[in-house]
Chains A and B, each alone.
Chain A
């Protein structure tokens, strides 16, 4: 079990969660809860893969994947922002819709054969830095590096810019923003769309970079939900989301690698001896999310901070409360 390889692979799979989580952070900061991440990721995955298969161009696949996720998110946006429907139920519906639609559209894709993936490379100089270099900057997909750049950029946008100020206002007290001329509806649509774009990107990251291929609903296999759980754990901060995503990825990779060797640390490997034991390893990621949820919720209760104050509540000018 090469720890270096495990962490590097963890960063790679963590990038998938990262994109989805950061996208959801943007949407939720504007006050809109979008639980349809799983569906948007799957649609992005199938759109990206199908495009790459038919055109041979992986980058085009990425673009179309993002657009697919974005379009789907707009459905949720219209229903919750303009029609003022319950955001929880709409998100669930979006998941069903996205998942079912993706399965229908992806019929037959699994037999498509190998396709060209997005480039991978090693960053010169930086990859020489001890410990960090070989793990984070060596032989990673280009999307991983995009992730590294995205996180601080999003943090800066939210906290140090004027548009970010408006975003935060819209998510905390939309009446205040509206009274001063900020278009609450337009901002929410924009950020829900951004969330959809990133969820689509996350899906493309799976099929075009990290775990290429199309496996029906198993392609995403719950990672959209894990991303939403990460947002709570991250207390709506992009940096904490990144930390959580990479940590999560590393732990999952660790459990995967535990299945193979005959011995672990000198003791006979229970997962090698009795194969059904590996099903417990399968449970681990989801159990971890539960732990992360408890930690995140307790901290929120303790610090009396938490979700953006207007999260989940449709905004209607002049109407107060539900």
Chain B
């Protein structure tokens, strides 16, 4: 049987899925051959995750057909998909943090029948892990594991259930370059055993590195189906992803070194579980520069942002414009002109059921012109809100619209509008473009660079190494709560940074890939 005639592992035909206000999938076709790695490429919001959630049984399609190994199927729940041999490794892990690896893997299975004899299953799962080259201790509790190890648990979950088709949703978002190499090796060994893999991503470089074929989606439709990865170029893929010639034409104007705005001296802090998160961090950020922090999730960068903005107690000194604000209330940091674009847009950065007006005045309701004695001058507040909504192009029906109805991109525009308008001396931006589409990413980057040109000091914390390298004047690497490296942008080398991000151990496996300064996406 020729390549074309072999039954497909998975076929999707004419899939349609609508959500309130948006058509996530608009007649999508997709097929997966046995033993291949097929990448599903698209920017955030293109509909890739929705499509895969349908395949995984989490959603039901409004129209369309699914076939597994040639047979039409209908999944009413993830259980049906699992029974059909599909296994999804989600972008946001679905693990019970307080339970062990083995317990997490056993959830939903029919064995053990009643009594929970974990030791037997510990051994079984340990063996499965070893066979597949996934290093993890089955008896460890999930909250004790690193992000990379947690991902291995997710993979073991689907392997243990005999998955023949794996769906990996943005698996590299939380990994350091070396861990990405490990993951790719694992994926290749799985395909050599006859398993098939769907690889969802918005990162061009990785897609080209691992995939056999590529399907590109944009705005709910397929713009290119099943292109052989070997015969297509980055530029072409980028255009298919975004629909126009993509040139991120942002320039970083050389700025003369300014005064030190933020200084951390030997800062130590504990994380939420009482485990030390910052172990003696010292750094400086000057006016007119962007200092990027490159780190894998869970190495203290979130706590770093919290310590500077007053949301977490610490030991050591945090000096803003000459004043030590460590352990001072959040109000003090705000008063010192510290703006904070938080990691969690909906959980921390906004109040979902309040209006756009209410969310925009969050940092300025105590000062004129909005404050009026004890009262709030609603007229002034609304005026400011209208101005910001127009100026920052926040797409919404009115300024009274509840913020929970805004898309991710508009939510971020709102937050940036609020934080930037106060003309801050210091900006802490944490994961500022996570989950945003290209247009929103571009405007966010533009705004940050404008602030930099206006003389603000910016601390940029991001898991997206490309973003760090594009925007930063200097790059600091964090690992396990310490700064393990500090570079000027010109000297930054992805290989070396990647090594430092994972503790710098092991052989030197640096890739000497040129750093993309402009052009290309992802």
Contacts and interface: CB of A to CB of B under 8 A. Distances in A.
11 contacts: A160-B116, A168-B99, A176-B94, A176-B107, A178-B78, A178-B94, A181-B77, A304-B273, A309-B97, A318-B58, A322-B352
A317 interface: yes
A181 B346 contact: no
B256 interface: no
Report which residue of A160, A180, A317 has the largest number of chain B beta carbons within 10 angstroms of its beta carbon. Answer: A180
A317 B116 contact: no
B374 interface: no
B29 interface: no
A179 interface: yes
A116 to B, nearest CB: 38
A88 interface: no
A173 B153 CA distance: 15
Contacts of B347: 321
B346 A176 contact: no
A165 B79 contact: no
Contacts of B96: 168-169, 172-173, 176-177
A161 interface: yes
B434 to A, nearest CB: 14
Given A173-B94, A181-B82, A322-B352, A165 B115 contact: no
Given A173-B94, A318-B53, A321-B347, A180 B108 contact: yes
B59 A180 contact: no
A271 to B, nearest CB: 47
Given A160-B115, A172-B96, A172-B99, A166 B273 contact: no
B107 A165 contact: yes
A290 interface: no
A162 B113 CA distance: 7
A182 interface: yes
Contact of A180 (B82, B97, B116): B82
A309 B92 CA distance: 17
Contacts of A317: 58
Given A304-B274, A318-B53, A318-B59, A180 B157 contact: yes
Contacts, number: 79
Interface in B386-413: none
Contacts of B88: 179
A220 B352 CA distance: 40
Nearest to A308: B98
B106 interface: yes
Interface in B76-127: 77-79, 82, 88, 90, 92, 94-99, 103-104, 106-109, 112-116
A176 B104 contact: yes
Give the interface size class of chain B.
20 to 34
B491 interface: no
B272 A304 contact: yes
Contacts of B106: 162, 165
Interface string A187-223: 0000000000000000000000000000000000000
Interface string A144-178: 00000000000000001111111011001101111
B79 A181 contact: yes
List the 8 shortest-distance A-B pairs measured between CB atoms, nearest first.
A181-B79, A180-B108, A176-B94, A181-B108, A173-B96, A175-B94, A179-B94, A172-B96
Q: Is the interface of B mostly helix, strand, loop or mixed?
A: loop
Nearest to A181: B79
Given A165-B103, A165-B116, A318-B53, A177 B108 contact: yes
Given A173-B95, A178-B94, A182-B107, 12 more contacts: A162-B115, A162-B116, A168-B96, A168-B98, A168-B99, A169-B96, A173-B96, A179-B58, A179-B88, A309-B97, A318-B58, A321-B347
Interface in A47-89: none
B107 A180 contact: yes
Nearest to B88: A179
A154 B85 CA distance: 35
A169 B107 contact: yes
Contact of A162 (B92, B112, B273): B112
Contacts of A182: 107-108
B435 to A, nearest CB: 12
Contacts of B272: 304
A161 B112 CA distance: 9
A137 B272 CA distance: 46
A57 B40 CA distance: 68
Contacts of A160: 115-116
A304 B88 CA distance: 31
Nearest to A160: B116
A176 B112 contact: no
Contacts of A162: 106, 112-116
A168 B107 CA distance: 10
B365 to A, nearest CB: 23
A201 to B, nearest CB: 24
A181 B108 CA distance: 6
Nearest to B157: A180
A124 B139 CA distance: 44
Interface in B42-86: 53, 58-59, 77-79, 82
A321 B108 CA distance: 23
Contacts of A181: 77-79, 82, 108
Nearest to B82: A181
A179 B78 contact: yes
Contacts of B352: 322
